[in-house]
Structure formats: C-alpha cells, structure tokens
C-alpha cells in the first residue's frame, strides 16, 4: 500500500478514509493484521494494524522488508495523446522503470494541458502493482524545445524516429554509465524542424523500432524494452 507518510521503526501511519475502506472493507483486515507499506522514499515496511475503523485507522511500522530500489537514471519523454492512451503510457513507463516521466508538447501535439495529478496517481498504482519501492515523478507538460534548451550535460537521448530505417541502439562503453532519456513523438510524428534539431544533437542516438510505424503507445513499450535490454539492470 502506498502512503504519503514517513516510514521507520515504530512509526505510526494514519490512514485516509479510502485506505481504511480498502484495508478493512475490501481486504477484511482487523487489528493485528499485516500490511506492506511504501512511500517511494523509505523502501518497503511491514506494518501492523493498530486501530481499524470505518473512516480511518492507524498502522504501526514493524520492520523494513526491502530497501529503496532506485531505477537507473532514465527520463521518459513523450507527447501526450488521447486520455486513455496517455494513461497507458505513464503506467507502462512506471512499470518498466523510468525514473522520471516527462510529457512534452511538440509542434504536432494536440493537448494543451494534462492532468498531472491523475497521471501521478497512475504512476503510484503502477509501482504498487509491480512491487516497486520507488515512484517515478510525473512532470507537468513542458515544451520540447524548452526541455532541449535546458538539457543537462552528459544525458544521452534515445530519439525514436520512424523515418530512420534499421538503426538499432548502438552504444560506446562510456555511454552505459551515463544518465539517459527516451523520446517518443505524437501520433502525427515530429515536424521537419524538430526532426532536424533532434538528429543534430550531439547527445542524440537516433533509433528505429522496426520497419512498421507503431502507434505512440506501442512505440513507448517497444522503446522501453529496447533500452532495458541494452542498459537496464
């Protein structure tokens, strides 16, 4: 269970109404019952139900069962598309170990804004689902050009470009130890200007995901798989 609360030895954790409903109403736990907790910072803790009520309850942390497992330093940049598909992309990026998820606005992106809080909640659920102890941060929508203007020194970029044929992710040894980012475009692809800028970046690795033009959500999963295969742990 994800909680927004510090976790540590003997720490009491007050439950929200929804959490109490889930634990005591749905999971039927009672006082003395055991729950695994994580908050994205302190690893996983085994906790015991100290008080159980309809509208709330209290858990007490007993012992740490997993340390915080930080994923590799990977940013996942994508242009938001339709709501359900954007939700899917965020969920899969969180499951597959992105450390930071960054929706970016490109020339052909239709959405002007995103519901950052909703997407962050999807990232929490995805981390819960795969037993992770880390929750990636979902950033607010930013313009791709602005992100590139402030690009941090040394971070490599896997630029997924369907116009590129047969280029796999080829790495020099030193690139394995560096922070990385993956970029997936919107349904309409990148503009000529964006494509020219992206391919000219000295830190960009232009990559094909095969001969077919994939939907952006499919491309997201394929790119994350390719990156994990080459660089994940």
Nearer to ligand SAM, 62 or 206 (CB): 206
Site string for ligand SAM, 96-135 (x = CB under 6 A): ----------------------------------------
Residue 233 CB, nearest approach to ligand SAM (Å): 24
Distance CA 143, CA 148 (A): 9
- Rounded least distance, CB 109 to ligand SAM, Å: 11
Please count the CA atoms within 13 angstroms of the CA of 96 that sit on its side-chain side: 23
Q: Which is nearer to ligand SAM, 30 or 192 (CB)?
A: 192
Closer residue to ligand SAM, CB minimum distance, 130 or 163: 163
Please write down the HEC assignment for all residues of 77-93. Answer: EECCCCHHHHHHHHHHH
- φ, ψ of residue 28 to 5 degrees: the values are 60, 35
Site string for ligand SAM, 194-233 (x = CB under 6 A): --------------xxx-xxxxx--x--------------
Residues 93, 190, 224, 226: which binds ligand SAM (CB under 6 A)? 190
Q: Which residues contact 153 (CB under 8 A, 6 or more apart)?
A: none
Q: Give me the least distance between CB of 206 and ligand SAM, in Å please.
A: 9
Instruction: State the minimum distance, in angstroms, from the CB of residue 223 to ligand SAM.
Output: 7
Which tokens belong to 55? 């509208």
Over the window 130 to 169, marking each residue x when it contacts ligand SAM by CB under 6 A and - when it does not, the resulting string is ------------------------------xxx-------
Q: Which residues contribute to the site for ligand SAM (CB under 6 A)?
A: 160-162, 184-185, 187-190, 208-210, 212-216, 219
């Amino acid at each position: 269970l994800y909680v927004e609360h510090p976790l540590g030895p003997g720490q009491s954790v007050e439950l929200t109404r929804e959490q109490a409903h889930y634990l005591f109403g749905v999971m039927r736990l009672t006082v003395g019952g055991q729950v695994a907790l994580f908050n994205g910072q302190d690893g996983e803790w085994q906790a015991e139900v100290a008080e159980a009520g309809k509208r709330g309850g209290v858990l007490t942390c007993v012992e740490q069962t997993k340390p915080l497992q930080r994923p590799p330093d990977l940013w996942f940049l994508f242009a938001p598309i339709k709501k359900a598909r954007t939700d899917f992309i965020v969920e899969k990026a969180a499951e597959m170990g992105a450390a930071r998820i960054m929706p970016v606005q490109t020339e052909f992106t239709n959405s002007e804004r995103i519901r950052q809080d909703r997407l962050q909640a999807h990232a929490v659920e995805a981390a819960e689902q795969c037993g992770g102890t880390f929750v990636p941060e979902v950033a607010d929508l930013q313009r791709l050009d602005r992100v590139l203007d402030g690009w941090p020194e040394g971070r490599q970029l896997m630029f997924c470009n369907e116009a590129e044929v047969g280029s796999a992710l080829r790495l020099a040894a030193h690139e394995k130890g560096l922070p990385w980012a993956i970029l997936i475009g919107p349904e309409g692809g990148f503009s000529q200007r964006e494509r020219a800028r992206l391919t000219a970046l000295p830190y960009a690795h232009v990559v094909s995901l095969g001969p077919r033009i994939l939907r952006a959500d499919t491309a997201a999963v394929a790119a994350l798989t390719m990156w994990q295969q080459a660089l994940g742990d």
